[in-house]
């Protein structure tokens, strides 16, 4: 039995299991509240025309969470777990969203779980996608993308097949041409979708199977070093962090 299957089995028969989901892997953050696998409230926090910084989007996550709780009638004490999109993606947005998730988990006294934001692109897409294999991509800058294969089952649950990797635009084109059965999904792609916190419902079995993260040490998967760190290390000729 796979980890995803064990996680799915472990959630069967649970009622009243409230999950607060947050994703900040892009400049469009999102929040969702789920009862078991069903979304009961959701919000998107957008950066429009560059007027709101990545940090500003992060600051809007808390009001969005409060709105979801109010809309659903869920009390803070009823939240049983928090799930945070772990990236890869925008360094600043991920850092802010991760900090919010860790703070809430500590404040609520609940466990924090992490999920690949590339997986949330597939499971959170609307309209819902059909079963099959997807190549989920997000911008990695420098003409490259973060990419991962995601298997979506007919029951609507999905799991990521291996860790995220960095691919060039040419490699993406080659991969799409060589395997037409694998559908490309991502912002501005043939299937135009980005990560969304509501996708946690379709990924919950694999999330629970992986277990909670260590609240003190966990950090999102930034995918690569921040541009500022790259420049510092180039100028000083040594790693910023030993």
Residue-wise pLDDT tens for the chain (242 aa)?
Answer: 444 454 444 444 343 489 999 999 998 899 999 999 999 999 999 865 455 455 555 578 999 999 999 999 999 999 999 999 999 998 888 999 999 999 999 999 999 999 999 999 999 999 999 999 999 999 998 889 999 999 999 999 999 999 999 999 889 887 776 777 899 999 999 999 999 999 999 999 999 999 999 999 999 998 865 554 445 445 656 654 44
Closest CA to 203 of 69, 83, 103: 83
The torsion defined by the Cα of 127, 128, 134 and 139, in degrees rounded to 10, comes to 50
Region of 211 please: left (phi>0), alpha (psi -120 to 50) or beta.
left
In a domain, 224, yes or no: yes
In a domain, 9, yes or no: yes
Closest CA to 110 of 9, 17, 239: 17
- Containing structural domain, residue 109: 3-126+195-236
In a domain, 58, yes or no: yes
In a domain, 108, yes or no: yes
What is the C-alpha to C-alpha distance for residues 185 and 182, in angstroms, rounded to an integer? 10
In a domain, 22, yes or no: yes
Q: Which helix (H) or strand (E) holds 187?
A: none
Q: Provide the CATH number for the domain around residue 32.
A: 3.30.420.40
In a domain, 132, yes or no: no
pLDDT confidence of residue 12? 42
- In the chain, the number of structural domains is 1
What is the C-alpha to C-alpha distance for residues 128 and 196, in angstroms, rounded to an integer? 12
pLDDT confidence of residue 239? 53
In a domain, 152, yes or no: no
In a domain, 146, yes or no: no
What is the C-alpha to C-alpha distance for residues 76 and 164, in angstroms, rounded to an integer? 33
Handedness of CA 4, 129, 195, 73 (dihedral sign): negative
- The pTM (predicted TM-score) of the whole model is 0.85
Distance from chain centroid for Cα 183: 19
């Amino acid at each position: 039995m796979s980890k995803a299957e064990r996680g799915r089995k472990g959630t069967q028969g649970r009622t009243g299991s409230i999950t607060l989901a947050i994703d900040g892997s892009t400049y469009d953050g999102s929040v969702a509240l789920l009862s078991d696998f069903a979304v009961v409230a959701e919000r998107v926090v957008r950066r429009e025309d560059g007027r709101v910084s990545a940090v500003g989007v992060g600051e809007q996550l808390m009001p969005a969470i409060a709105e979801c709780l109010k809309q659903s009638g869920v009390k803070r004490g009823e939240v049983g777990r928090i799930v945070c999109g772990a990236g890869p993606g925008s360094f600043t947005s991920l850092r802010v969203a991760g900090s919010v998730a860790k703070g809430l988990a500590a404040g609520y006294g609940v466990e924090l779980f992490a999920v690949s934001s590339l997986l949330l692109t597939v499971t959170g897409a609307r309209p819902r996608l059909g079963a099959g294999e997807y190549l989920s991509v997000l911008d990695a800058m420098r003409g490259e993308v973060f990419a991962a294969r995601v298997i979506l089952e007919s029951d609507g649950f999905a799991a990521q097949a291996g860790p995220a990797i960095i691919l060039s635009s040419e490699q993406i084109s080659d991969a799409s041409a060589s395997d037409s059965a694998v559908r490309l999904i991502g912002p501005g792609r043939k299937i135009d979708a980005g990560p969304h916190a509501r996708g946690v419902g379709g990924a919950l079995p694999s999330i629970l199977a992986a277990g909670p993260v260590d609240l003190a040490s966990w950090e999102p998967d930034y995918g690569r070093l921040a541009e500022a760190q790259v420049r510092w290390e180039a100028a000083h000729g040594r790693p910023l962090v030993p």
